[in-house]
C-alpha cells in the first residue's frame, strides 16, 4: 500500500523540520527525490543519509529566475516530476497594526506566489504525461486565523482557492491537487515559542500533544499514492482535533 516506487518527487523546504520528514518517508516508500532549499550543507547531508536516487538543488524561492531554474534542473534530474510538494514556508509575525509592508510581501511571496510559480512550471510535464500529484502545505491558521499572523494566515488561506482552482482545471488529466493543513507541529518553526505558549496551545488539542513531523509526512505519502487518485481539491487537516473543520 502507498507504494511510491518509480515516482519522482520534487520537494521544497526539504531542509526544514517537516520537509526532512517528508523526504525520509517518501524515500522509504520507494520514491526518487529532488530536495530543494537554500541551505546547501543541510540538503547535502540529508541526501547522503537517504542514499541513491536523491538529488539536491539549492534555490532561493524569492527569485522568479531561481524558481524557473529549479523547475528546469529538477526535470532534468530524472526526466520527469510526478509529485510536487510545495512545503517551503516562512513567518514574519507582528500585530496587524504594526505589520510592515516588507513582512507582508515576503510572506505572501514565498508561501503563495513562489508555490504558484513553481507549480505553473511543473504542471506542464504532468499534463503531457497525464499523471501528477500536487500538494501544498497550508496551515490550520489559514482556516482559523491567528493573532499576530495576518500575513501568514492570508498566505495559507489563499492556497485553498489556488488548490481548488488548479484541481478543477486538471482533474480530467490524471492530476490531483490537494492541501495539507498542519496544526501545531513540533519543529524549529514552533521551537521559537516559549513553554508557556506551547502549553497554552496543547490545552486546546484534544489529542493532548503537539503534532509530530511524521504526522504530516504520512499525509504526504497518502496523497501522493495511486490509492488517493479520487481525492482532489481538498484539505487534509492534521491537527489532533484542534479544529474539526
* Cβ proximity of 41 and 14 under 8 Å: no
Residue from the set 2, 44, 62, 174 that interacts with ligand NAP by CB under 6 A? 62
Residue from the set 3, 28, 49, 60 that interacts with ligand NAP by CB under 6 A? 60
* Cβ proximity of 142 and 160 under 8 Å: yes
Q: Name the grid cell of 116.
A: 504558484
Stretch that binds ligand NAP, among 31-39, 49-57, 165-173, 227-235 (CB under 6 A): 31-39
The full length of the chain comes to: 245
For residue 243, state whether it binds ligand NAP (rule: CB under 6 A): no
Neighbours of 137 (CB within 10 A): 25
Least distance CB 211 / ligand NAP (angstroms): 7
Least distance CB 12 / ligand NAP (angstroms): 6
For residue 56, state whether it binds ligand NAP (rule: CB under 6 A): no
For residue 49, state whether it binds ligand NAP (rule: CB under 6 A): no
Closer by beta carbon to ligand NAP, 189 or else 231: 189
Residue from the set 132, 182, 219, 240 that interacts with ligand NAP by CB under 6 A? 182
* Cβ proximity of 39 and 49 under 8 Å: no
Closer by beta carbon to ligand NAP, 89 or else 131: 89
In the Cβ-directed half-sphere of 29, how many Cα atoms lie within 13 Å?
24
* Cβ proximity of 223 and 188 under 8 Å: no
Closest CA to 31 of 39, 22, 41, 40: 22
For residue 218, state whether it binds ligand NAP (rule: CB under 6 A): no
Residues contacting 122, CB < 8 A, separation 6+ = 10, 71, 74, 75, 81, 84, 132, 134
Residue of 152, 156, 158, 228 marked catalytic: 152
For residue 110, state whether it binds ligand NAP (rule: CB under 6 A): yes
152 catalytic? Reply is yes
Q: Whole-angstrom distance between the N-terminal and C-terminal Cα of the chain? A: 27
Least distance CB 234 / ligand NAP (angstroms): 17
Within 104-164, strands assigned E span 132-137
Q: Which residues, numbered 129-148, are part of the site for ligand NAP (CB under 6 A)? A: 137, 139
Least distance CB 90 / ligand NAP (angstroms): 5
Residue from the set 88, 112, 122, 126 that interacts with ligand NAP by CB under 6 A? 88
Residue from the set 8, 9, 19, 150 that interacts with ligand NAP by CB under 6 A? 19
* Cβ proximity of 155 and 138 under 8 Å: no
Catalytic residues: 152
Amino acid at each position: 500500500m502507498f507504494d511510491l516506487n518509480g515516482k519522482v518527487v520534487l520537494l521544497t523546504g526539504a531542509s526544514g523540520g517537516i520537509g526532512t520528514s517528508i523526504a525520509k518517508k517518501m524515500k522509504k516508500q520507494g520514491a526518487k527525490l529532488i530536495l530543494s532549499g537554500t541551505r546547501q550543507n543541510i540538503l547535502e547531508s540529508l541526501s547522503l543519509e537517504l542514499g541513491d536516487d536523491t538529488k539536491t538543488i539549492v534555490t532561493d524561492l524569492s527569485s522568479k529566475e531561481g524558481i524557473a531554474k529549479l523547475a528546469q534542473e529538477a526535470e532534468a534530474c530524472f526526466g520527469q516530476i510526478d509529485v510536487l510538494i510545495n512545503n517551503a514556508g516562512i513567518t514574519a509575525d507582528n500585530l496587524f497594526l504594526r505589520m510592515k509592508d516588507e513582512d507582508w510581501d515576503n510572506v505572501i511571496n514565498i508561501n503563495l506566489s513562489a508555490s504558484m510559480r513553481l507549480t505553473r512550471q511543473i504542471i506542464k510535464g504532468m499534463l503531457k504525461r497525464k499523471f501528477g500529484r500536487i500538494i501544498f502545505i497550508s496551515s490550520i491558521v489559514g482556516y482559523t486565523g491567528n493573532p499576530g499572523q495576518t500575513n501568514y494566515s492570508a498566505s495559507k488561506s489563499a492556497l485553498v482557492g489556488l488548490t481548488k482552482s488548479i484541481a478543477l482545471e486538471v482533474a480530467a488529466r490524471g492530476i490531483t491537487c490537494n492541501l495539507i493543513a498542519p496544526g501545531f507541529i513540533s519543529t524549529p518553526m514552533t521551537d521559537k515559542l516559549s513553554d508557556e505558549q506551547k502549553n497554552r496551545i496543547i490545552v486546546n488539542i484534544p489529542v493532548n500533544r503537539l503534532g509530530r513531523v511524521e504526522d504530516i509526512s504520512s499525509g504526504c505519502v497518502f496523497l501522493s499514492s495511486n490509492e488517493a487518485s479520487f481525492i482532489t481539491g481538498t484539505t487534509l487537516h492534521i491537527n489532533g482535533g484542534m479544529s474539526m473543520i
